[in-house]
Amino acid sequence: MKTLVLYATKYGAARKIAESLAESLSDADLCNIKEGYPTNFAKYDCVIIGSSVYAGSIRPEAKAFIAQAVSALEGKRLGLFICGMDAQRYEDCLKKNYPAEILQQAVVTDFLGGIFDPAKANFAERTIFRAASKLSSYQNTIDVEKIKQFAQAMET
Ligand SMILES: Cc1cc2nc3c(=O)[nH]c(=O)nc-3n(C[C@H](O)[C@H](O)[C@H](O)COP(=O)(O)O)c2cc1C
């Protein structure tokens, strides 16, 4: 099975997740959506799309990609992952950001954790994030076990 793993990231956490997923899959290509992606998905059996989330929204490049790729993704085994720090709002986040037909088509969806690094966030981001989450120090909640399970579920 061949898989295309597409990701959208601001500071690199979603890329780390996408890289771990690609390593756990039998045959995967990895693309940062911002840097370009194949226009033809014919050689792929599976497509995984993952994005980090900011104030409830996935990255704009992920939204734009999905909006124009709905028909090209038809017939693919589709996986969606969210990278973030708020697991509780993940279901709402999926519904808000993905078209209904994409959600229905997905064989796996999951929240795979994230990284908050105050050294990378700008002042406004640190302030907003601290107010919303009460977190102010470095946190890495990337869930390695869930990543492996996600990859397995894609290929079964
Ligand atoms: C200003 C700000 C807003 C955020 N909003 C959310 C959010 O709504 N939901 C969530 O789960 N995580 C939220 N996060 C956490 C990020 O999604 C998390 O740090 C993620 O790992 C960033 O991934 P990236 O480095 O791939 O962009 C927010 C972080 C910041 C700095």
DSSP structure string for the chain: --EEEEEE-SSSHHHHHHHHHHHHSSSEEEEEGGG---S--TT-SEEEEEEEEETTEE-HHHHHHHHHHTTTTTTSEEEEEEESS-GGGHHHHHHHHS-HHHHHHEEEEEE---EE-TTTS-HHHHHHHHHHH---S-EE---HHHHHHHHHHHT-
112 lines ligand 1 (CB under 6 A): no
Reported pTM:
0.97
Q: What is the CATH number of the domain that holds 28?
A: 3.40.50.360
33 lines ligand 1 (CB under 6 A): no
Candidate of 53, 92, 141 to mutate for ligand 1, largest count of ligand atoms within 8 Å of Cβ? 53
Cα 92 to averaged position of ligand 1 atoms, centre (Å): 15
87 CA: nearest ligand 1 atom:
11
| Count of the separate structural domains present in the chain | 1
14 lines ligand 1 (CB under 6 A): yes
| 156 residues of the chain, pLDDT tens digit each | 999 999 999 999 999 999 999 999 999 999 999 999 998 899 999 999 999 999 999 999 999 999 999 999 999 999 999 999 999 999 999 999 999 999 999 999 999 999 999 999 999 998 988 888 888 899 999 999 999 999 999 998
| Domain ranges, residue 60 | 3-154
